[in-house]
A and B are shown apart, each in its own frame.
Chain A
């Protein structure tokens, strides 16, 4: 069984926009979601810039009951629920209000670490000998699968409800897990996405590794510079993205709006061998991941006209471009458009793959390639591999046909998914 799978809903809670319309406008204009974070300054972080979605209490009240809001101290759950419920509604679906679980609907919603602030609260109480004061929500807000559990209960899903975790590939991997489940006929509708908490306890470890830029604390919107000669490291972000994947049959039966088709993809690992390590990718595996994604999707490399890279704004950007070129085996002048949204949203870690995939898919709807920001000065090593015209610095009118989106993560793990503009004919 190998059924066609389409995207029928999107939801997003990102540093540069909460909700699809704000997010789309921000991407069209290249508006930054990166800001100076006073709490990071107070704590003496080297990098005091980060991306955090601006979520008002009033908005939270639309998604959580007063009871759920009491003691709610897990930003990842807030972002994930907003994005997940929005995607569900965007697909034209209702909450399940019957007494029977929706057996053919499931959730794969990933995260890296969840409820860090809640966990800190618990640690303090426990160390003071007050374990009895934790209350009933400490576990559900700090278990990794808390996000899929919250969404599963809100939506009444009866198919697989789980949380995947693969560092910065989490969101992209989740799309492929959901795709597999539907394409194999095990589910009709899967909500997939990922979320990442905000705050010093998530971002501190990266600051300690000295991989974040320290020279932009008074110029935050310029701090994240993918593909730029002056790129100095990634800016950490947070938030959530969500996509509704659905069998074509189910979508057509419901008369749902179809954003794009998921053709398939690939996940793999470089085994931390060769040039690969815990924190660096093995190029052999990256290239193989892209090539297998193309093969698994039944297309050829020349069909791809747009790429959304991982491109975090570190010295590895040039290597990633080289890997794309080698994997696609396209001439320099024939290289697809390529963009990175990390210039305006930062690197949203476990949420990166899903937020960026939502943005990637929005390009089909808007018939554009969203601009790259902060790379007026493209790195010379990149320009020796692909032309400047492949890297739009202004949002470009272009109806994408096939977009490849990849994410790479700590642990030397890779994921590449192939999206195609939807047409009824295969």
Chain B
């Protein structure tokens, strides 16, 4: 899977959870989920599940703790896909 394709897939997941005052165009590679995109911590749990389903991977608790920004998520997805 191309990096661009992965990024788009991830953005499609994230956009559902954006509050009204944040738009899809605000999503950048270095966006912090909670601080920049105002996504609440409960919904971060759902993003993790959606990522698992979309990429057919499983994220462990320590992965989830490290997943602070969009870049973090990309790196974790890459690492998990490489394991498979």
- Please state if A135 and B16 are interface contacts (CB–CB under 8 Å): no
Q: Are A135 and B17 within 8 A (Cβ)? A: no
CB<8 Å pairs between A and B, sample of 6: A133-B49, A135-B46, A135-B49, A136-B42, A136-B43, A137-B46
Nearest B residue to A71, CB-CB: B46
Known A67-B17, A70-B46, A135-B49; further 13 A-B contacts with Cβ < 8 A: A66-B16, A67-B16, A67-B43, A70-B16, A71-B46, A133-B49, A135-B45, A135-B46, A136-B42, A136-B43, A136-B45, A136-B46, A137-B46
Min Cβ gap B43→A in Å is 6
Taking CB atoms, residues of chain A closer than 8 Å to B43 are 67, 136
Q: How far is the CA of A36 from the CA of B32 in the complex (A)?
A: 52
- Shortest Cβ-Cβ A-B pairs, 7 listed: A136-B42, A136-B45, A135-B46, A136-B46, A67-B16, A135-B49, A136-B43
Q: How far is the CA of A324 from the CA of B55 in the complex (A)?
A: 65
In the assembled complex, which residues on chain B have CB atoms less than 8 Å from the CB atom of A135?
Answer: 45-46, 49
Shortest C-beta distance, A172 to chain B (Å), equals 35
Taken together as a complex, chains A and B put the C-alpha atoms of A136 and B42 apart, in Å, by: 5
Question: A133–B46 Cα gap in the complex (Å)?
Answer: 9
> What 1/0 mask marks residues of chain B from 51 to 74 whose CB sits below 8 Å from any chain A CB?
000000000000000000000000
- Interface size range of chain A in the complex: under 10
In Å, the complex CA distance between A302 and B54 comes to: 68
Q: Which residues of B contact A137 (CB under 8 A)?
A: 46
- Nearest residue, chain B, Cβ from A70: B16
Q: How many A-B residue pairs have CB under 8 A?
A: 16
Q: Please indicate the chain B residues that have their CB under 8 angstroms from the CB of A67 in the complex.
A: 16-17, 43
Cβ–Cβ < 8 Å partners of A66 in chain B: 16
Tell me the bound Cα distance from A136 to B50 in angstroms: 12
Determine the distance from Cα of A362 to Cα of B58 in the docked complex, in whole angstroms. Answer: 55
Closest Cβ neighbor of A139 among chain B residues: B42
Q: How far is the CB of B11 from chain A (nearest CB, A)?
A: 15
Q: Within A133-185, which residues are at the interface with B (CB < 8 Å)? A: 133, 135-137
A71 cross-chain contacts in B, Cβ below 8 A:
46
CA distance A261 to B57 in the complex (A): 60
Q: Which chain A residues border B16 with CB–CB below 8 Å?
A: 66-67, 70
User: Nearest CB to that of A66 among chain B residues?
Assistant: B16
Q: Which residues of A contact B49 (CB under 8 A)?
A: 133, 135
In Å, the complex CA distance between A71 and B45 comes to 13
Residues of B with C-beta under 8 A to A133:
49
Q: Which residue of A lies closest to B17 (CB)?
A: A67
In the docked arrangement, what's the CA distance between A70 and B46, Å? 10
Mark contacts of A190-231 with chain B using CB atoms, 8 A cut-off: 1 yes-contact digit, 0 otherwise: 000000000000000000000000000000000000000000
The docked-state distance in angstroms from the alpha carbon of A159 to that of B49 is 36
Interface string of B17-56 (1 = CB under 8 A from A): 1000000000000000000000000110110010000000
Given the complex, which residues of A lie within 8 Å of B17, measured CB to CB? 67
Query: For A136, what are the chain B residues with a Cβ–Cβ distance below 8 Å?
Result: 42-43, 45-46
Chain B hits for A70, CB < 8 A:
16, 46
**Cα(A136)–Cα(B49), bound, Å:** 10
